[in-house]
Structure 1
Amino acid sequence: MMDVRPRILIVSRNLPPLIGGMERLNHHLVLELSNRADLEIVGPPGCRTSMPLGVSVREAGSSSLRGYLMGAARQTLYAALGQRFDWVLAGSGLVAPLALMAARLRRSKCAVYLHGLDIVVRHPTYQRVWLPLIRRFDLCLANSRNTAVLAAQAGIPADRIRVLHPGVELESELTADAATNWRARHGLQERPVMLSVGRLTPRKGLLEFVQSVLPVIVGRHPKAVLVVIGNEAPDALAGRAEGITAQIRSTAEKLGLASNLIFLGMCDQAELNAAYQGSDVLVFPVRQMAGDVEGFGMVAVEAAAHGVPTVAFSVGGVSDAVEPGVSGWLVEPGDYAAFAERTLDALSPARSVRPDGCRRFARQFAWPVFGEQLWELLGGTATV
């Protein structure tokens, strides 16, 4: 028997040029597998420019969800008719029916990466059609232990579920100039800085943080500032409420905290890295909400990679992304008094969590580690 490079078809809407945690995950999934297998990608318009050399790409449909699914169905079928793949991999539950179609057509094995929301979303069609199809996959990769539990509760056989945490880019050292320049650009200088990163949705809990935690922090540190990176965006599956940013601004103004709040919107990677490096603590006050879930909490690991601790509620998969006393603190959901105390600890020069502990925790999530674990789960090389 001779080892050969396996052929893998990856179907995903969550790839660059779209922006977000799932997009970074799927992009790195492609990068890691491209070193070990021959890949074909069915992705969104414009994704070709971000793919590694030697990877075959089929751009599908339009930028809309409906347009992508229709185009991706055609392109996935064409790919499956063109050759047999050892694995067909769905980048999320959203495209699971397409991946399963291709796998069954050519008797290939199929895997899906589950992020949490793609299990619990309450859309009736999704619950009636998508979930029964996901139960038929050979391998279901869960981004956290909580997502694995949700998958089992949804009827996916436990022996087909494996936890595979997303990865992170490791930062070797904090770049003092980048941190200083970032603070200077935004008028932060010596101010204590709390950072929030991610799309602004009700689940992220920033409104409640401003209402219940920020007044306590400012009472102790009048110059403290909450820097928010991210915009509001409708979810691809569940839809989202509008106006969270306006509600947060209005609440801060009513509390006399407008000067303690800065919105930076979406930032490129260089600006985001500088923001991590220039901040004292990442705050992640995620709420428990029916029909919605925080699958993992990638920003907590990204912060740790920059030596920055996280204060978070122990909700959903966030518990996998923070090691208490090492990379930050986990607080019981809804305990805003404890959240404030932990945040004050992080802003103290004598804080108990140190940068070297944060970086040490983050190393286990390095993308090469993710790649090795994924490769092992897929069974390594094909044989002929």
Structure 2
Amino acid sequence: MSDPDLASAQGKRLLLLSEVFPPAKGGSGRWFAELYPRLQRHQIHLLVGEHPRQDEFDGRLTSVCIRRADLSMPFRGMSRISSVRRYLQLRSLVSQYVRDQGIQEIHAARPLSEGLVARLVRLTRKIPYTCFVHGEDVSVAKTSRELTVVTDWVLRGARRLIANSSFTRSLLVEEWKMPAAKVLLLNPGVDIEYFTPAEDVGSVRARLGWTGRRVLLTVGRLQTRKGQDVAIQAVSQLSKSHPELLYAIAGDGADRDRLTSLAHELHIADHVQFLGEVNDRELLDCYRGCDYFALPNRTIAGDVEGFGMVLLEAQACGRPVIAGRSGGTVDALDENVTGVLLDCRGPDALAQTLKDWLSNPEVPERMGAAARSFVVDRYSWHSLANQADVLFLDSDLSTTSLVNGRAHG
């Protein structure tokens, strides 16, 4: 637990409010868990969602004050009486914590529901808040008039907005008409000391049962916008000419049954491996043992990939990557150097890229060799934490802010 004296004279008592937090799965929660304990200039408090295995994880967070609570919000709008009551309950919880701990600023993980809670707290306690924004937060909100109105109210009340990608920043400035100086860019990062290439890839592949296979890997929730169905269809186009090709899918979700049925319908069940949820060690093995990594994402009814942290993790392990040309993935790779961006609304572009890579292995090998350097240079947590430390000190948003090596404002 942090001692207040550890924060510098310039630093603040910051409260991160996030329903999603490890060991719960979710890229944004992992981002916060990596970033906030590394901040040096501020005293950090975490008010985060409960999880059955939270005690073991929380025991490792010795540099922050952490409290777990039920932060669930079944419906994020405010048109239902039950939602209004729930928001008021959460406002009371957060307001009490702010008062007891002398919090000077709240950091909300998303506009809804954490940002709305922070907005309500500000009405009574006058505590400023910063709101993190991911592409899907604001693109999905546009599909509902109610969510649009509430999200806009939250965004306009925030002291600053932190966009997780240049795509998200563009949405906020161009579609939501937020002042450019208020919208700052801070990409997620990767633990470059943990995610490293394997010294003995053969042993890793043997543990996974991948010996003799060419493995395409996807990691993430099984949901439509992630594009696992597109990858299955692409593999079906190549299964006869490349019987060694295996598509491994790590993760679970609502689309599991549909994807399993699709693999059987296309008669390629022996070319698709559903790994389910994997632990950290198994995840590392998957990255190290695969030949290619794919996040074939596309936009579905406003649901969009905000960034794609898994792309960084794969590249840190020296793997070439394929991503959909949709949302914020453009920030997560060096196009045609560490990987490629494709139209993944259908399987043909992905199938052609895989065919090319299988026929010309020197191309993905060259990209994989460049991938590690790319993420080390731009996306180490140490570097991003230093940038965030300075960013969270900034009190004059009229000046240009330099975040992740790029000027905005």
TM-score where L is the length of structure 1: 0.87
Question: What is the letter of the counterpart of residue 49 of structure 2?
Answer: P
Equivalent residues in 2 for 1:318-329, closer than 5 Å? 318-329=329-340
**CA-to-partner distance for each residue in 1:225-269, whole Å, 9 max, x for gaps?**
00000101xxxxxxxxx4x22222222223221110000000011
Give SS of 1:141's match.
strand
Task: Give 1:362's aligned residue.
Answer: 375
Matched, 1:204 2:226: yes
Task: Give 1:175's aligned residue.
Answer: 198
Once the two structures are TM-superposed, the CA of residue 361 in structure 1 deviates from its matched residue by 1.1
**CA-to-partner distance for each residue in 1:1-31, whole Å, 9 max, x for gaps?**
x934321111111212311211101212321
Task: Give 1:90's aligned residue.
Answer: 108
Equivalent residues in 2 for 1:15-164, closer than 5 Å? 15-33=21-39, 35-46=40-51, 47=54, 50-51=57-58, 52-61=61-70, 65=74, 72-94=90-112, 95-121=114-140, 122-152=143-173, 153-164=175-186
**CA-to-partner distance for each residue in 1:320-363, whole Å, 9 max, x for gaps?**
11211221111234363332222234444322533330001111
Task: Give 1:239's aligned residue.
Answer: none
User: Contact 1:80–1:102 at 8 Å: present in 2 too?
Assistant: no
User: Contact 1:307–1:356 at 8 Å: present in 2 too?
Assistant: yes
Kindly report structure 1 stretches of 4+ aligned residues shifted beyond 6 Å.
none
Question: What is the letter of the counterpart of residue 199 of structure 1?
Answer: R
Once the two structures are TM-superposed, the CA of residue 108 in structure 1 deviates from its matched residue by 3.7
Task: Give 2:19's aligned residue.
Answer: 13
Give SS of 2:273's match.
strand
Question: What is the letter of the counterpart of residue 175 of structure 1?
Answer: A
- Gap regions ≥5 residues in structure 2: 1-7, 76-82, 396-409
User: Contact 1:88–1:103 at 8 Å: present in 2 too?
Assistant: no
Task: Give 1:295's aligned residue.
Answer: 306
Once the two structures are TM-superposed, the CA of residue 81 in structure 1 deviates from its matched residue by 2.3
CA distance in 1, matches of 2:63, 2:208: 42
Give SS of 1:354's match.
helix
Q: Size of the alignment, in residue pairs?
A: 368
Q: Which of 206, 215, 226 is 2:247 aligned to?
A: 226
Question: What is the letter of the counterpart of residue 280 of structure 1?
Answer: D
Task: Give 2:5's aligned residue.
Answer: none
CA distance in 1, matches of 2:99, 2:30: 29
User: Contact 1:203–1:286 at 8 Å: present in 2 too?
Assistant: yes
Question: What is the letter of the counterpart of residue 43 of structure 2?
Answer: D
Once the two structures are TM-superposed, the CA of residue 163 in structure 1 deviates from its matched residue by 1.2
User: Contact 1:168–1:302 at 8 Å: present in 2 too?
Assistant: yes
TM-score where L is the length of structure 2: 0.82
What is the identity percentage for the equivalent residue pairs of Structure 1 and Structure 2? 28
Task: Give 2:277's aligned residue.
Answer: 266
